[in-house]
Amino acid sequence: MLTRDFLQKADCKTAFGAIEESLLLTPEQRAASLDCTLSRRPDHSPVWIFGYGSLMWNPVFESEEVRPATLQGWHRAFCMRLTAGRGTLHQPGRMLALKAGGHTTGLAFRLPESKLREELELLWKREMVTDCYVPTWCELQLDGGEKVTALVFVMNPQHPLFEEDTSYQVIAPLIASASGPLGTNAQYLFALDNELKHHGMQDDCIGDLVRCVQQWLQQNRTGGIGSEATA
């Protein structure tokens, strides 16, 4: 699992596994991306971060408040080819992102203003190793009806790691098979499913995908899947 200490010391070129050099952002590029995002901060209101994947159970950054929230206009999708972290270049998996359409339930984290830059730099080092996400200011509805503006990391559809096909028959064997320095791809999916259940949140697509991956793993263990299943 990622820790604060690991991220602070990590060399992005090597810490997450082998990443194609052309895709890596330099520290200067990450800082410029953060500066650009903060320059668009609406009305200097409190900065909230929307967690819809591993940020829900392992945010790493400090926050002053955590609230269940709903994001309209975006939905979860394993649409990013995963070649580091929980996958490799030779056996890629799929990582979670947000695609346009639908809605997503997750957790909203309010960052402390006194440590804002420090916490965001840590978050950028985690999420913006490459340019695969677009940090976007979006309106969230918190549990209870209050609306806030939050930073949301949505998929960059122009990125080389973007994958359009997210059908279960394509991504389930990829997720079931991939692993890397941070663990297995399947562990990530199962942790997400558990976290959603813990908060009483419903995402039918995640539940269905979990069942497909579990079935694939079971069949593979018992020799019920031939080599064509991994093609």
- Tell me the catalytic residues: 127
Count CA atoms closer than 13 A to 183's CA, side-chain side.
11
Q: CA–CA distance from 180 to each of 45, 47, 89 (Å)?
A: 38, 32, 10
How many Å apart are CA 124 and CA 160, to the nearest integer? 19
Euclidean distance between CA atoms 34 and 31, whole angstroms: 5
Contact 109, 56 (CB under 8 A): no
* Amino acid letter, residue 59: P
> β-strand 48-51 against 147-155: which pairing, if any?
parallel
CA 54/CA 75 separation, integer angstroms: 15
Of 178, 191, 184, 151, the closest CA to residue 58 belongs to: 191
Rg of the chain taking only CA atoms, in angstroms: 18
DSSP string for residues in 19-81: --GGGPPPHHHHHHHHHHHHHT-GGGPPPEEEESSTTTT---S--SEEEEEEEEEEEEEEEEE
